[in-house]
A and B are shown apart, each in its own frame.
Chain A
Amino acid sequence: MRNWRFLTRWRRSAAAVLGTGVVTVVILIALAAPWIAPCDPLAQEVGHRLQPASAQHPLGTDGLGRDLLSRLIYGARATLGLVGLVVVLMAPIGLTLGIVAGYYGGLTERLLMGLTNITMALPQLVLALAFVGLLGPGLFNAALALVLTGWPAYARLARAETALLRRSDYVAAAEMQGIVGPRLLWGHLLPACLPAMQVRLALDLAAVILAAAALGFLGLGVKPPTPEWGMMIAEGSKVVFDQWWIAAVPGAAILIVSLSFNLLADGLRDVMDRRHE
């Protein structure tokens, strides 16, 4: 019964529907890449480099003569993979640390929040560059670097919410019922943090893709020849004034995906808000 109401509300939120729709399409494209991509994304044709759109290459070719459309499609995999990795690691780590800090208080809290403060004060680029420099280029290493710079915001958020709730009737009631420890933390405190987290997460998803593009611009992106939207924009920036499509095409893709992630998060929040009343 509850799920059915959830779905109805979902359908009524235009943002949620649009957001979910686009994200789903992108995920499907990424999964079906080997079948729908017209060419091999790694096949170089140096004689036909920097070509504009044509019948053979609907979106043109890049600096090494590779088909841009195929690279765009395969690039969805790397980009979504990066985003997924970061989301799967960043928010949970941050939330966990924040909830533990907020609930247990005292020295634990001070230590964890100290660590959070230090990481927040550390310039993001320092950590990301040092990490990529240490571990070498590659998708996973870039994701790790971005995770290590992004978790503090979630920790702070979670701690603030948890600290407020710690003394609330809600938690007291649960404790009286004998629910303590991890079950309390995960079952009761975590859901309370989710609404505030969503807006942040949606913004961060777009920011992560752009951070990967920034790393690419500075020369430390994913390993070539892996197609990845951020790296493609960085490569296209070299010829952005003449062969503008090479940077514009992945740029448009990132724009669309970022917008949909945000719409999706908005929709989620709209729906879940009512649920918590």
Chain B
Amino acid sequence: MILCALCFAHDGLAASLPDVLVVAQSLDDIASLDPAEGFELSSLQAFTNVYQRLVQPHPDDPSTLVPTLASSWTAGPTPHSLVFSLRADAVFASGHPLRPEDVMFSLSRAVKLNRAPVFILNELGWRSENIDGSLHKIDAHRVRIDWSSDVGPAFVLRLLTAPVASIVDEWEVAAHEANGDAGNGWLKNHSAGSGPFKIRRYIAHEALVLDANPSSPQGAPLLKTLIFKNVADAATRRLLVEVGDADIARDLGPDQIAALEGKPDLTTLRFPSATIHYLMFNAANPSNPALANPALWEAARWLIDYQGIALRLLQGEFEVHQSFLADGYPGALPDTPYRLDVDKARAILAGAGLKQGLSITLSVMNQPPFGDIAQSLQSTFAKAGIRLEILPALTSEIYSKVRERSEEAVWLFWVPDYFDANSTASAFASNREDGTKTLAWRAGWHIPALSGETAAAVADQDPVARQRRYLAIQAAVQKSSPFVIALQARSLLVVRADVHGYRQGLDADMAYYDRVRKR
């Protein structure tokens, strides 16, 4: 048996394929690769490399906009319109040149399909009924877009950097249309874009293989093939990158990364990420009235072991951050006034008359690192007499509960949907009381004044003034709200030492593989 095994002895083959990059990650979240539909982390990262938009954030500085498929733009006839001049030499991977029809088709199909990510475009006031009337072809190279909501062009440009605004090749997609689905069925596992890569094959929950697209307006990538392998288990991913069968391993735990530190053929890359982690109390929960008590909110701010979790428990995976705009976003509030102080918390609780032995259930996702964070919280809250009962559950269960407002306390993370402060502010600091399910609504937090300020902030067209407004809003949320914002995540990857040129930005979709090379 052993002899047999030796006959098939193995040596890391990935290392000997210089034009192929193998990435070991979990692809189980992908439900569709249609940019108008896909809204999971893995899908969004694929879109960044397979499609392009009119404008995109600069890979190294996301607050700067780079004209991509649009070479320039000017204000339109009304304050709520923009005219884009399309890049003259742009072609899709299929060879078809870029035309205004492609832009109009892409944006209108997204709105009409009405899938998960389209709420971003809805912010412009676009709906199925009015989208066709909002997009106009001016000539062979220019297109005009109008919007109805009260926002400025700078904000609109930001929204158009979201992956849902990816421009697809209309000729190609129309050729594969079936039953009036605007090509959705075909685009679920094929691509028709102009990005540096194109989809060769997608096997659901198994692998995504991308080939280089040398004619991309962005320039040909340095690699010929990208293979994303679905490897669900973190320990297995670690072995793959150690042996060399994978060039990049994503989503390894902080302890595994610490163990791999110092190995000669591996490098750890650390990228700042805009994901923030927070504890949320559901003040709308009638069965536990203490949850609506601002004294509890305040005491909780002093009962989290921020340093312990960020620096020791989950070493390197987090940094302490206590406001809702992530560090790196313009207008982020850098103050971190809170730290673990059990005595202070106890005093606050006693002063408010909240009796000892208060019991709260804490719902968390059953993935790492949430279990560890929850247990740390359980331990520190217990020191002040609050008993936290941990209820691990599947991610989708947690979101269901939060939507129904049936949980008591929950530890969640927030990922911005587009690179603008409003994405996060409109969630945490806005409760329009009209059933729109913002986070503030889900927490049962009634803030008519603050909601007004948030609405004013997005309408403000002066960038400096906007930043000041968001600083004030963050300070208010930080001081007293059912949200205890605690940590900002870092994105950690382990790559083989011969892999260079990988870039990643703050937002979840900003994973750039076009400049990656081996040796």
Say if the two chains contact directly (CB < 8 Å): yes
Residues of A at under 8 Å CB distance from B? 42-44, 46-47, 49-50, 63-64, 133, 136-137, 219-220, 223-225, 235, 237-243
Are B308 and A242 in touch, CB under 8 angstroms?
Answer: no
For the complex formed, measure the closest distance between the CB of B489 and the CB atoms of chain A, giving whole angstroms.
18
User: Could you tell me the distance between the alpha carbons of A210 and B514 in the complex, rounded to whole angstroms?
Assistant: 45
Q: Interface SS of chain B: helix, strand, loop or mixed?
A: helix
Are B238 and A224 in touch, CB under 8 angstroms?
Answer: no
Are A223 and B390 in touch, CB under 8 angstroms?
Answer: yes
Are A46 and B308 in touch, CB under 8 angstroms?
Answer: yes
30 residue pairs A–B, Cβ–Cβ below 8 Å:
A46-B308, A46-B313, A46-B376, A47-B308, A49-B313, A63-B313, A63-B372, A64-B313, A64-B375, A133-B397, A136-B391, A136-B393, A137-B392, A219-B366, A219-B367, A219-B392, A219-B394, A220-B392, A223-B392, A224-B374, A224-B392, A225-B378, A225-B390, A238-B253, A238-B255, A238-B256, A238-B368, A240-B235, A241-B256, A241-B259
Are A137 and B375 in touch, CB under 8 angstroms?
Answer: no
Are B394 and A224 in touch, CB under 8 angstroms?
Answer: no
- Please give, as numbers and ranges, the residues of chain B lying within 8 Å of A239 by CB-CB distance: 253, 255-256, 259
- Please give, as numbers and ranges, the residues of chain B lying within 8 Å of A44 by CB-CB distance: 375-376, 379
Q: Given A46-B376, A64-B376, are A223 and B391 also a contact pair (CB < 8 Å)?
A: yes
Does chain A have a CB within 8 A of B169? Answer: no
CB closest chain-A residue, reference B238: A241
User: Could you tell me the distance between the alpha carbons of A64 and B390 in the complex, rounded to whole angstroms?
Assistant: 15
Are A224 and B390 in touch, CB under 8 angstroms?
Answer: yes
For the complex formed, measure the closest distance between the CB of A169 and the CB atoms of chain B, giving whole angstroms.
52
User: Could you tell me the distance between the alpha carbons of A133 and B376 in the complex, rounded to whole angstroms?
Assistant: 24
Which of A42, A133, A136, A219 has the most B CB atoms < 10 Å from its CB? A219
Are B379 and A47 in touch, CB under 8 angstroms?
Answer: no
Are A64 and B372 in touch, CB under 8 angstroms?
Answer: yes
Instruction: Write out, one digit per residue, whether chain B residues 360-401 have a CB within 8 A of any chain A CB (1) or not (0).
Output: 000000111001101110110000000001111110010000
- Please give, as numbers and ranges, the residues of chain B lying within 8 Å of A223 by CB-CB distance: 389-392
Q: Given A133-B397, A238-B234, A241-B235, are A224 and B371 also a contact pair (CB < 8 Å)?
A: yes
User: Could you tell me the distance between the alpha carbons of A165 and B418 in the complex, rounded to whole angstroms?
Assistant: 73
Which of A46, A133, A239, A243 has the most B CB atoms < 10 Å from its CB? A46
User: Could you tell me the distance between the alpha carbons of A240 and B236 in the complex, rounded to whole angstroms?
Assistant: 11
Does chain A have a CB within 8 A of B468? Answer: no
Does chain A have a CB within 8 A of B305? Answer: yes
Does chain A have a CB within 8 A of B339? Answer: no
CB closest chain-A residue, reference B374: A224
Are A220 and B313 in touch, CB under 8 angstroms?
Answer: no
User: Could you tell me the distance between the alpha carbons of A128 and B378 in the complex, rounded to whole angstroms?
Assistant: 27
Instruction: Write out, one digit per residue, whether chain B residues 445-482 have a CB within 8 A of any chain A CB (1) or not (0).
Output: 00000000000000000000000000000000000000
User: Could you tell me the distance between the alpha carbons of A94 and B391 in the complex, rounded to whole angstroms?
Assistant: 31
Q: Given A219-B366, A240-B235, are A46 and B253 also a contact pair (CB < 8 Å)?
A: no
User: Could you tell me the distance between the alpha carbons of A18 and B390 in the complex, rounded to whole angstroms?
Assistant: 39
- Please give, as numbers and ranges, the residues of chain B lying within 8 Å of A64 by CB-CB distance: 313, 372, 375-376
For the complex formed, measure the closest distance between the CB of A21 and the CB atoms of chain B, giving whole angstroms.
36
User: Could you tell me the distance between the alpha carbons of A43 and B372 in the complex, rounded to whole angstroms?
Assistant: 13
* Size bracket, chain B contacts: 20 to 34
- Please give, as numbers and ranges, the residues of chain A lying within 8 Å of B374 by CB-CB distance: 224
Does chain A have a CB within 8 A of B312? Answer: yes
Are B379 and A237 in touch, CB under 8 angstroms?
Answer: no
Closest 4 CB pairs of A and B: A219-B366, A242-B259, A46-B308, A46-B312
Q: How many A-B residue pairs have CB under 8 A?
A: 73
For the complex formed, measure the closest distance between the CB of A131 and the CB atoms of chain B, giving whole angstroms.
13
For the complex formed, measure the closest distance between the CB of A252 and the CB atoms of chain B, giving whole angstroms.
19
Are B235 and A137 in touch, CB under 8 angstroms?
Answer: no
- Please give, as numbers and ranges, the residues of chain A lying within 8 Å of B235 by CB-CB distance: 237-238, 240-241
CB closest chain-B residue, reference A217: B233
User: Could you tell me the distance between the alpha carbons of A136 and B393 in the complex, rounded to whole angstroms?
Assistant: 7
For the complex formed, measure the closest distance between the CB of A208 and the CB atoms of chain B, giving whole angstroms.
21
- Please give, as numbers and ranges, the residues of chain B lying within 8 Å of A238 by CB-CB distance: 234-235, 253, 255-256, 368
Which of B238, B253, B379 has the most A CB atoms < 10 Å from its CB? B379
For the complex formed, measure the closest distance between the CB of B204 and the CB atoms of chain A, giving whole angstroms.
20
- Please give, as numbers and ranges, the residues of chain A lying within 8 Å of B375 by CB-CB distance: 44, 64, 224-225
- Please give, as numbers and ranges, the residues of chain B lying within 8 Å of A63 by CB-CB distance: 255, 313, 372
For the complex formed, measure the closest distance between the CB of B373 and the CB atoms of chain A, giving whole angstroms.
10
CB closest chain-A residue, reference B239: A241
User: Could you tell me the distance between the alpha carbons of A64 and B255 in the complex, rounded to whole angstroms?
Assistant: 12
- Please give, as numbers and ranges, the residues of chain A lying within 8 Å of B238 by CB-CB distance: 241
14 new A-B contacts, CB < 8 A, other than A235-B371, A242-B255, are: A46-B309, A47-B308, A50-B255, A137-B366, A219-B394, A220-B392, A223-B389, A224-B375, A224-B378, A225-B378, A237-B235, A238-B235, A240-B235, A241-B238
User: Could you tell me the distance between the alpha carbons of A64 and B379 in the complex, rounded to whole angstroms?
Assistant: 11
- Please give, as numbers and ranges, the residues of chain B lying within 8 Å of A47 by CB-CB distance: 308, 312
User: Could you tell me the distance between the alpha carbons of A219 and B370 in the complex, rounded to whole angstroms?
Assistant: 11
User: Could you tell me the distance between the alpha carbons of A239 and B372 in the complex, rounded to whole angstroms?
Assistant: 14
Which of A43, A63, A235 has the most B CB atoms < 10 Å from its CB? A63
The B296-323 residues at the A interface (CB cut-off 8 A) are 305, 308-309, 312-313
User: Could you tell me the distance between the alpha carbons of A136 and B361 in the complex, rounded to whole angstroms?
Assistant: 13
User: Could you tell me the distance between the alpha carbons of A239 and B313 in the complex, rounded to whole angstroms?
Assistant: 13
For the complex formed, measure the closest distance between the CB of B249 and the CB atoms of chain A, giving whole angstroms.
13
Are A46 and B378 in touch, CB under 8 angstroms?
Answer: no
Question: A220 contacts which of B253, B308, B309, B366 (Cβ < 8 Å)?
Answer: B366
- Please give, as numbers and ranges, the residues of chain B lying within 8 Å of A240 by CB-CB distance: 235
For the complex formed, measure the closest distance between the CB of B452 and the CB atoms of chain A, giving whole angstroms.
40
CB closest chain-B residue, reference A231: B371
- Please give, as numbers and ranges, the residues of chain B lying within 8 Å of A50 by CB-CB distance: 255
For the complex formed, measure the closest distance between the CB of A52 and the CB atoms of chain B, giving whole angstroms.
14
- Please give, as numbers and ranges, the residues of chain B lying within 8 Å of A219 by CB-CB distance: 366-367, 392, 394
User: Could you tell me the distance between the alpha carbons of A44 and B393 in the complex, rounded to whole angstroms?
Assistant: 23
Are A42 and B379 in touch, CB under 8 angstroms?
Answer: yes
For the complex formed, measure the closest distance between the CB of B461 and the CB atoms of chain A, giving whole angstroms.
47
- Please give, as numbers and ranges, the residues of chain A lying within 8 Å of B390 by CB-CB distance: 223-225
The B233-247 residues at the A interface (CB cut-off 8 A) are 234-235, 238-239
